[in-house]
Structure 1
Protein backbone atom coordinates (compact mmCIF):
# COMPACT_ATOMS: atom_id res chain seq x y z
CA UNK A 1 0.00 0.00 0.00
CA UNK A 2 1.27 3.49 -0.85
CA UNK A 3 2.22 5.80 1.96
CA UNK A 4 2.08 9.59 1.70
CA UNK A 5 3.27 10.42 5.19
CA UNK A 6 2.92 9.42 8.84
CA UNK A 7 -0.13 7.12 9.03
CA UNK A 8 -1.40 8.48 5.68
CA UNK A 9 -2.38 5.60 3.41
CA UNK A 10 -5.01 6.98 1.03
CA UNK A 11 -5.33 9.81 -1.48
CA UNK A 12 -8.18 11.24 0.60
CA UNK A 13 -6.06 11.30 3.77
CA UNK A 14 -3.13 12.81 1.86
CA UNK A 15 -5.33 15.48 0.34
CA UNK A 16 -6.63 16.46 3.78
CA UNK A 17 -3.17 16.31 5.38
CA UNK A 18 -1.30 18.42 2.81
CA UNK A 19 -4.04 20.75 1.53
CA UNK A 20 -6.92 20.54 4.03
CA UNK A 21 -9.43 19.72 1.28
CA UNK A 22 -11.20 16.84 -0.40
CA UNK A 23 -9.41 15.22 -3.38
CA UNK A 24 -12.14 16.43 -5.77
CA UNK A 25 -11.19 20.03 -4.90
CA UNK A 26 -7.45 19.68 -5.58
CA UNK A 27 -5.85 21.83 -8.24
CA UNK A 28 -3.79 20.17 -10.97
CA UNK A 29 -0.55 21.19 -9.26
CA UNK A 30 -1.73 19.81 -5.91
CA UNK A 31 -2.70 16.49 -7.49
CA UNK A 32 0.68 16.32 -9.25
CA UNK A 33 2.38 16.98 -5.94
CA UNK A 34 0.61 14.04 -4.31
CA UNK A 35 1.35 11.77 -7.25
CA UNK A 36 5.00 12.77 -7.37
CA UNK A 37 5.87 11.94 -3.77
CA UNK A 38 5.11 8.26 -4.25
CA UNK A 39 7.08 6.02 -3.94
CA UNK A 40 10.11 8.23 -3.19
CA UNK A 41 8.91 11.13 -1.00
CA UNK A 42 12.37 12.30 -0.01
CA UNK A 43 13.57 12.37 -3.61
CA UNK A 44 10.80 14.67 -4.85
CA UNK A 45 10.34 16.82 -1.76
CA UNK A 46 13.05 19.21 -3.02
CA UNK A 47 10.98 19.90 -6.17
CA UNK A 48 8.48 22.02 -4.25
CA UNK A 49 8.49 25.36 -2.47
CA UNK A 50 7.50 25.52 1.22
CA UNK A 51 3.96 26.57 0.20
CA UNK A 52 3.57 23.38 -1.88
CA UNK A 53 3.93 25.04 -5.27
CA UNK A 54 6.29 23.60 -7.85
CA UNK A 55 9.67 25.26 -8.16
CA UNK A 56 9.89 27.07 -11.49
CA UNK A 57 12.80 24.98 -12.77
CA UNK A 58 10.76 21.78 -12.29
CA UNK A 59 7.54 22.78 -14.04
CA UNK A 60 8.56 21.44 -17.45
CA UNK A 61 9.42 18.03 -15.98
CA UNK A 62 6.01 17.60 -14.36
CA UNK A 63 3.87 18.99 -17.16
Structure 2
Protein backbone atom coordinates (compact mmCIF):
# COMPACT_ATOMS: atom_id res chain seq x y z
CA UNK A 1 0.00 0.00 0.00
CA UNK A 2 2.92 2.36 0.70
CA UNK A 3 4.59 1.66 -2.64
CA UNK A 4 7.62 0.01 -1.03
CA UNK A 5 8.92 -3.01 -2.99
CA UNK A 6 10.61 -6.04 -1.40
CA UNK A 7 12.76 -8.93 -2.56
CA UNK A 8 12.29 -12.30 -0.84
CA UNK A 9 14.94 -14.97 -0.43
CA UNK A 10 15.37 -18.06 1.71
CA UNK A 11 15.09 -21.83 1.88
CA UNK A 12 12.18 -24.19 1.52
CA UNK A 13 11.83 -27.90 2.13
CA UNK A 14 8.91 -29.74 0.57
CA UNK A 15 7.74 -33.28 1.35
CA UNK A 16 5.23 -35.09 -0.88
CA UNK A 17 3.07 -38.15 -0.27
CA UNK A 18 2.80 -41.19 -2.52
CA UNK A 19 0.13 -39.42 -4.63
CA UNK A 20 2.35 -36.42 -5.32
CA UNK A 21 0.46 -34.13 -2.96
CA UNK A 22 2.40 -31.84 -0.66
CA UNK A 23 2.34 -33.30 2.82
CA UNK A 24 4.70 -30.85 4.52
CA UNK A 25 6.33 -27.52 3.77
CA UNK A 26 8.90 -25.75 5.89
CA UNK A 27 10.17 -22.34 4.88
CA UNK A 28 12.55 -19.72 6.16
CA UNK A 29 12.02 -16.63 4.01
CA UNK A 30 13.36 -13.12 4.50
CA UNK A 31 12.19 -9.91 2.83
CA UNK A 32 14.44 -6.94 2.15
CA UNK A 33 13.24 -3.53 1.01
CA UNK A 34 14.49 -2.50 -2.44
CA UNK A 35 14.49 0.82 -4.26
CA UNK A 36 12.46 1.33 -7.44
CA UNK A 37 15.72 1.42 -9.46
CA UNK A 38 16.65 -2.07 -8.15
CA UNK A 39 13.43 -3.78 -9.23
CA UNK A 40 13.86 -6.57 -11.79
CA UNK A 41 10.25 -6.65 -12.95
CA UNK A 42 8.35 -3.52 -13.95
CA UNK A 43 4.78 -4.41 -14.93
CA UNK A 44 1.74 -3.34 -12.90
CA UNK A 45 0.80 -5.56 -9.97
CA UNK A 46 -1.20 -7.59 -9.41
CA UNK A 47 -1.29 -9.43 -12.66
CA UNK A 48 0.42 -12.03 -14.81
CA UNK A 49 3.79 -11.59 -16.47
CA UNK A 50 3.22 -9.81 -19.81
CA UNK A 51 3.71 -11.97 -22.92
CA UNK A 52 6.66 -9.89 -24.15
CA UNK A 53 8.69 -10.34 -20.92
CA UNK A 54 11.11 -13.32 -20.97
CA UNK A 55 10.45 -16.17 -18.56
CA UNK A 56 12.82 -17.15 -15.80
CA UNK A 57 14.16 -20.02 -17.95
CA UNK A 58 15.39 -17.47 -20.47
CA UNK A 59 17.77 -14.68 -19.55
CA UNK A 60 15.33 -12.19 -17.94
CA UNK A 61 18.07 -9.80 -16.76
With the length of structure 2 as denominator, give the TM-score of the two structures: 0.30
**Bigger Rg, structure 1 or 2:** 2
More strand by share: 2
More helix by share: 1
Question: Relative CO higher for 1 or 2, CA cutoff 8 Å, sep ≥ 6?
Answer: 2
